[in-house]
Amino acid sequence: MNAAQIGQVRWFNRTVTERVGVLHDQYPGRDRPIGEARLLWEIGEQGQDVRWLRECLGLDSGYVSRLLRSLEADGPVSVEPHPRDRRVRTVGLTDAGRAERAELGRRSDDLAGRLLEPLNSAQRALLVAAMSEVDRLLSAATVTLDAVAPDHPDAEHCLRSYCAELQERFETGFDPARGLLPDPTELSSPQGLFLIARLHGEPVGCAGLKLPPGAPAEVERMWVAPHARGLGLGRRLLAELEAKASQHGREVMRLDTNTVLDAANALYRSCGFQEVAAFNDEPYAQHWFEKRLTAPSAG
């Protein structure tokens, strides 16, 4: 990242806010601040958990509470405790809120149409494709990586999803009990760690790292949710594990995989892993990889 890139991002932000009408009082939110209008839209017809709204929009709890109090006082929403867990608050639209949301949708469609109208068909296609790419990259930038205990609910969700996908993709199915599933303590500090990738608070990927004494570091149970693929999360998870392994003095990192996981195999090779002879008796493994790690720079 350099000064020119920072400058281009700032220029892009100014162009977007001008062209989508945020600076004008006729913005689709009408008399509402943009924060209230966006929250009203995200609540949707079915209502939402307040915690989900906060994580989806990346807003702090106090700000969301203030927005909801304003909306509730004005009539478009109602906030209630969850029927099965009163510690959790849910928010739903009233009849007035549904009418306002429908009008917000119509105005947003009109605004998008006005943005595209001056362009010819080729330019429209280019703009929409560029917007899709920007959306993908901005989504990738919002993903967080956190180390959690292997029995954390998000970790268990990812591991269940991982096993379910292998069960579907492997010709012989997948039975975790047959594989060399790490003991949870092997993926907890100081023996290792377990990373969770989250997008808008939703767990969308995981990867474990084993740090056996006097042996290479090992990658375990790396998985990315299908709808989050294409965001570079696999490469990012691997890079984070490599950094952690180097910090713990490991010079080599290794992993095993199956032929059917062609995208994973391509990722490992593109990240500098070299195929080697089998180093374990994992029944589901058909390829084994190793990579020499770069020592962390001093300071």
**Amino acid letter, residue 211:** L
How confident is the model at residue 161, as a pLDDT? 95
Unique residue bearing structure tokens 């209630």: 80
**Residue 299 reports pLDDT greater than 70:** no
How confident is the model at residue 9, as a pLDDT? 84
Edge to edge, the sheet with strand 77-81 lists: 48-49, 89-93, 77-81
Distance CA 263, CA 221 (A): 15
**What is the helix (H) or strand (E) element at residue 112, kind and residue range?**
helix 95-116
How confident is the model at residue 34, as a pLDDT? 83
Distance CA 94, CA 81 (A): 16
**Residue 57 reports pLDDT greater than 90:** no
How confident is the model at residue 8, as a pLDDT? 84
Chain segment 123-174, per-residue pLDDT in tens: 999 999 999 999 999 889 999 999 999 999 999 999 999 999 999 999 889 9
Distance CA 151, CA 163 (A): 15
Confidence tier at 26 by pLDDT (50, 70, 90): low
How confident is the model at residue 20, as a pLDDT? 73
Q: Give SS3 for 195.
A: strand
For 53, 106, 113, 158, 214, the CA distances from 124, given in Å and listed in that order, are 32, 20, 10, 39, 58
How confident is the model at residue 59, as a pLDDT? 85
How many CB atoms within 10 Å of residue 32? 20
**Residue 228 reports pLDDT greater than 60:** yes
Class of residue 158 by CB neighbours under 10 A (exposed 0-12, middle 13-18, buried 19+)? buried
Confidence tier at 27 by pLDDT (50, 70, 90): low
Q: Which of 50-54, 165-169, 277-281 has the lowest mean pLDDT?
A: 50-54
